[in-house]
């Protein structure tokens, strides 16, 4: 079956999270994504996540420090629609492939950069590790915890925000190209990535900020996390769900008090009541409790480690758990495709390729014969 993006070719020079995983969403809806990496593979391959983030694409190894490597890249650019890079500032310019010069030669290209800091800012050339972006933009002080003080975020929020924005940036620029006939340079910095996640808490107005409080003591979402029997945990966000036939208290077996009445109680009364509530949760087996909540139409979820999500019936039954046979690891279980287009469904196109697995094929498509390819290989250009 044809896919929505099967006329789009993307040259992916990225490692890390935002580039490879952002591009994956386009690859699995049909784009021909070619990973362009140095001979031996890009440095991000050593991260376990690369096994998933770099799947569904082909791999070509080019040494961009050689004129032959750059020449082949320029040839690829004539066949491509999109170039995505996430190098440290100045790297692409050093190869002679900076966005201004490359777009002059290939004006049809969408050139997407994923720097840590925005180009043109005073910190543009600073080292841009995830944690530094979070620290400098105040994120350690925004988080919920069981204690006061700064909190390190396990989940790399800046990279994740950028990962979600990268396919939007590319597709919006491709949309504009259909109108203008021209590509352009687009940038998604990790700082913009984290700004996208602060949108619900950072809104300054003349009248105040009206935000969901930092939660110490816990707010409504942190306050609906409970320990069950056997050291397991549940997130009992029972205010949502489907037609509800019982209250939280009726399911649990203790006196229910509606959330709207909490503020009418004294802090001591509320605390005493909440202690009973916690004790009620502790008596329940987590999975039995969730079953009982769901039977009563009350929303709730098990709090699990990432690898346990593969057992979730909802994920399994929506194709979210996939077997992918990796060329080095053999059969693996991976997360599926998260976007559902009924007329043009997405699909996993294949495992992460070995570095350079498709070099000969892709160069062959460009018209280079076996002798030329052998010669380039001997020179170390590919």
Partner 1 sequence: MPGPLEGLRVIDFGQYVAGPFGPMLLADLGAEVIKIEPITGDNMRALVVGSFMGCQRGKLDIALNLKEPDGLRIALELVATADMVHHNMTLGTADRLGIGYEACRAVKPDILYCNNYMYGAEGPLARFGGIDPHGQSSAGLEWEQGPVAEGNPPIWIRYGHGDVAAAMSSVTALLIALHHRDRTGEGQQLWASIFHSTMLYTADSWLDADGAPSPRPTLDKEQLGLGALYRLYETQDGWLQLAAVRDRDWPELCRVLRIDHLVDDPRFATDAARADHRAELTALLEQAFMADLAVNWRRRLRAADVPCEVSVDMIDGEHVLFDDELVRLGLVAEYVHPILGRTRQFGNLITFDDTPGVQQRPTPRVGEDTRELLERLGYDAAGIQDLHDRHVVTWPGDDYAFQV
Sheet bearing 301-303, strands edge to edge: 225-227, 233-235, 301-303
Work out the burial of residue 233: count CB atoms within 10 Å of its CB; fewer than 13 is exposed, 13-18 middle, 19 or more buried: middle
Q: Is residue 93 part of the contact set for partner 1 (CB under 8 A)?
A: no
Instruction: Say whether 376 sits in a helix, a strand or coil.
Output: helix
Residues 33-72 interacting with partner 1 (rule: CB under 8 A): 47-49, 51-53
Least distance between partner 1 and beta carbon 157 (Å): 7
Cα 35 to Cα 250: distance, rounded to the nearest angstrom: 55
Residues 265-294 interacting with partner 1 (rule: CB under 8 A): 294
Residues 2-21 interacting with partner 1 (rule: CB under 8 A): 4-5, 7-8, 17, 21
Q: By C-beta, is 147 or 378 nearer to partner 1?
A: 147
How remote is the C-alpha of 55 from its chain's centroid?
Answer: 14
Residues 197-226 interacting with partner 1 (rule: CB under 8 A): 197-207, 209-212, 214-215, 221-222, 224-225
Say if CB 167 and CB 26 are below 8 A apart: yes
Residue with tokens 């009206």: 210
Least distance between partner 1 and beta carbon 72 (Å): 26
Q: Is residue 235 part of the contact set for partner 1 (CB under 8 A)?
A: yes
User: 46 is written with which tokens?
Assistant: 């050593």
Q: Is residue 145 part of the contact set for partner 1 (CB under 8 A)?
A: yes
User: 79 is written with which tokens?
Assistant: 């066949």
Of 88, 90, 96, 175, the residue at the interface with partner 1 (CB under 8 A) is 175
Least distance between partner 1 and beta carbon 327 (Å): 13
Q: Which residues contact 190 (CB under 8 A, 6 or more apart)?
A: 18, 114, 115, 116, 117, 128, 130, 133, 158, 159, 161, 162
Q: By C-beta, is 18 or 34 nearer to partner 1?
A: 18
Q: Is residue 146 part of the contact set for partner 1 (CB under 8 A)?
A: yes
Cα-Cα-Cα-Cα torsion 178, 184, 187, 188, nearest 10 degrees, comes to 10
Of 9, 106, 136, 347, the residue at the interface with partner 1 (CB under 8 A) is 136
Q: Is residue 366 part of the contact set for partner 1 (CB under 8 A)?
A: no
Q: Is residue 327 part of the contact set for partner 1 (CB under 8 A)?
A: no
Of 230, 330, 371, 378, the residue at the interface with partner 1 (CB under 8 A) is 330
Q: By C-beta, is 27 or 60 nearer to partner 1?
A: 27
Cα 352 to Cα 357: distance, rounded to the nearest angstrom: 10
Least distance between partner 1 and beta carbon 350 (Å): 15
Least distance between partner 1 and beta carbon 330 (Å): 5
Work out the burial of residue 115: count CB atoms within 10 Å of its CB; fewer than 13 is exposed, 13-18 middle, 19 or more buried: buried
Least distance between partner 1 and beta carbon 354 (Å): 17
Give the other-Cβ count within 10 Å of 96's Cβ: 13
Q: Is residue 160 part of the contact set for partner 1 (CB under 8 A)?
A: yes
Q: By C-beta, is 77 or 169 nearer to partner 1?
A: 169
Cα 361 to Cα 280: distance, rounded to the nearest angstrom: 63
Q: By C-beta, is 121 or 370 nearer to partner 1?
A: 121
Q: By C-beta, is 49 or 96 nearer to partner 1?
A: 49
Nearest to 183 by CA among 191, 168, 173: 173
Residues 295-314 interacting with partner 1 (rule: CB under 8 A): 299-310, 312-314
Least distance between partner 1 and beta carbon 370 (Å): 35
Nearest to 6 by CA among 266, 293, 344, 333: 344
Q: Which stretch binds partner 1 (CB under 8 A): 56-64, 263-271, 341-349, 362-370?
A: 341-349
């Amino acid at each position: 079956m044809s896919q929505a993006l099967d006329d789009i070719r993307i040259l992916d020079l990225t490692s890390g999270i935002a580039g490879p995983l952002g591009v994956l969403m386009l690859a699995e809806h049909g784009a021909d994504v070619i990973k362009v990496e140095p001979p031996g593979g890009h440095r991000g391959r050593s991260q376990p996540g690369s096994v998933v983030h770099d799947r569904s694409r082909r791999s070509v190894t080019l040494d961009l420090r050689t004129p032959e490597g750059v020449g082949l890249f320029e040839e690829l650019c004539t066949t491509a629609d999109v170039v995505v890079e996430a190098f440290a500032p100045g790297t692409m310019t050093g190869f002679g492939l900076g966005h201004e010069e490359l777009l002059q030669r290939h004006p049809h290209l969408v050139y997407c950069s994923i720097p840590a800091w925005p180009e043109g800012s005073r910190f543009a050339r600073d080292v841009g590790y995830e944690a530094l972006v979070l620290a400098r933009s105040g994120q350690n002080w925004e988080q919920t915890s069981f204690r006061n003080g700064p909190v390190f975020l396990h989940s790399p929020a800046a990279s994740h925000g950028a990962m979600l924005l990268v396919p939007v940036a590319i597709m919006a620029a491709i949309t504009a190209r259909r109108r203008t006939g021209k590509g352009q340079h687009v940038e998604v910095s990790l700082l913009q990535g984290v700004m996208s996640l602060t949108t619900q808490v950072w809104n300054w107005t003349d009248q105040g900020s009206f935000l969901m409080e930092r939660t110490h003591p816990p707010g409504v979402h942190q306050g609906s996390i409970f320990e069950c029997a056997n050291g397991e945990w549940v997130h009992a966000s029972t205010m949502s769900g489907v037609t509800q036939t019982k209250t939280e208290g009726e399911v649990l077996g203790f006196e229910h008090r509606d959330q709207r009445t909490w503020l009418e109680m004294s802090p001591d009364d509320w605390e005493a009541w909440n202690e009973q509530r916690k004790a009620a949760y502790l008596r329940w087996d987590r999975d039995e409790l969730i079953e009982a909540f769901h039977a009563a139409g009350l929303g709730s979820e098990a709090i699990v480690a990432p690898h346990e999500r593969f057992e979730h019936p909802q994920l399994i039954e929506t194709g979210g758990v996939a077997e992918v046979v990796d060329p080095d690891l053999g059969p693996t279980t991976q997360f599926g495709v998260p976007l559902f287009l009924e007329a043009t469904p997405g699909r996993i196109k294949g495992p992460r390729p070995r570095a350079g697995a498709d070099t000969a094929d892709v160069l062959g498509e460009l018209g280079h014969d076996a002798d030329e390819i052998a010669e380039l290989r001997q020179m170390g250009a590919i």
